[in-house]
Amino acid sequence: MTTTQVVNPATEQVVSTVELVGAAETDAAIERAQRAGADWRAVAPGDRARLLRRFAEAVDANLEQLAQLEVANAGHTIGNARWEAGNVRDVLHFAAGIPERLLGNQIPVAGGVDITFHEPLGVVGVIVPWNFPMPIAAWGFGPALAAGNTVVLKPAELTPLTAIRLGELALEAGVPEGVFQVLPGKGSVVGQRFVTHPAVRKVVFTGSTEVGKEIMAGCARQVKRVTLELGGKSANIVFADADLARAAATAPYGVFDNAGQDCCARSRILVQRSVFDRFLELLEPAVHGVRVGDPSDESTEMGPLISAAHRDRVASFVEPSTKVAFTGAQPDGPGFWYPPTVVLPDAPSDRVLTEEVFGPVVAVVPFEDEADALRIANDTEYGLSGSIWTNDVGRALRVSRGVEAGNLSVNSHSSVRYWTPFGGYKQSGLGRELGPDAALAFTETKNVFIAT
């Protein structure tokens, strides 16, 4: 049995050692999930709802423990980690409303009755990245279980601890054996087996666009259903008519939250040229004000990066020739720290403007007018989220309709609510999670005609 050492990114200390699941054990788990499926789909809707509610209550009762695990494993600030555990609870409560509301249609036809059913797919494989280990897992397993599927879940090798605990809590809450299994292991082993094993009928993948493309190609061989949540290069567009002080005060939190390791990070700030200099003057104290440090401290706003290798990758975006406007704080001592960094790119082709940094580096660029803002915002292969700052309601709507991205916010940087849909345009993904239709992504529509 191979193992991996889980490291606290704020201290570089080993937190625990986790056994990694291999290929044969993955197959055995998938087969267990397949066998458990027959009984799980037969559980009465009200009973399945009750079990999901009990699972949600178990998460709530262990919220602080889950949050502390995430602080130690992923370096998330304690405030964020509590929100994330609470999000799992809320996603499960929302999912508990699904079994009794998975309504089909009755369609008027000649000579009989025509009805549709939303049937579960079977075994669903969920592959999770390290940046938001808890919520991203729950966005897959919550609605998948609610719709009558069984789930095998692979956490990222770097961050398996909360997922393992969620697997235990499901069992403690009474979710039957085999219905929800957590398999810590390598993407190339466990994740790949989800793609190639014929009993897995759908893969939900969140991670890099590069791996997402491989997953999609692999799934194509079996016409396997797939949802992809991939990278982003989102724009925060600030118009001259906006509340500039608020736009500048909040901009750091729209990109440096979770140390920028957020697919929705607004890593390009586009500012109308007439207020460009004034915006930078207001942004500087806001960036200096971001409290970077020990993530277990209640007042900390930004923690470390996930690993030394990732810090090297983030640092590679700030080359000796890069024009750095200003940087924020960074603690001394151990930990994979990188300071909030604001850069002024020379050309639209600069790597820092075209590639996802996935760290606390933001590029600020000027634009002329609405059309220019849209041109720059859409000049990327990604399309996940974005923000628009303006006090003109017509402009807010025009620009919202014009930006090619799945999740936009006006005069705010919020992207995620469990009851609204979430997902990307272009190479940011395929399909949607959360929201009122979450369960439909985990069902086949079956049409039945009954001759009368």
Q: Which residues are known catalytic residues?
A: 229, 263
Of 207 and 252, which CB lies nearer to ligand TAP in the complex structure?
207
Rg value, the chain, Cα: 23
Identify the three-state secondary structure at position 220: helix
Tell me if 169 sits within 8 A of 62, measured CB to CB. Answer: yes
Helices and strands (H, E) in the chain, number of each type:
14, 18
Torsion angle of C-alpha atoms 28, 30, 31, 32, degrees rounded to 10: 90
Nearest to 364 by CA among 303, 278, 430: 278
Of 104 and 431, CB closest to ligand TAP: 431
The least CB distance from residue 136 to ligand TAP, in Å, is 6
Interface with ligand TAP by CB under 6 A: which residues?
127-132, 136, 154, 156-157, 186-188, 191-192, 206-208, 211, 214-215, 229-232, 263, 356, 358, 384, 424, 428-429
Q: How far is the CB of 22 from ligand TAP (least distance, A)?
A: 13
Query: Do the Cβ atoms of 272 and 240 come closer than 8 Å?
Result: yes
Provide the minimum distance between the beta carbon of 328 and ligand TAP in the complex, in angstroms, as a whole number: 22
Residue 132 · residue 416 · CB < 8 Å: no
Which residues, other chains included, contact 179 with Cβ-Cβ below 8 Å and sequence gap of 6+?
Answer: 33, 36, 40, 145, 150, 151, 170
Residue 304 beta carbon to ligand TAP: minimum distance, rounded to whole angstroms: 16
Please, what is the minimum distance in Å from the beta carbon of residue 258 to ligand TAP? 10
Closest by CA position to 340, among listed 364, 366, 370: 364
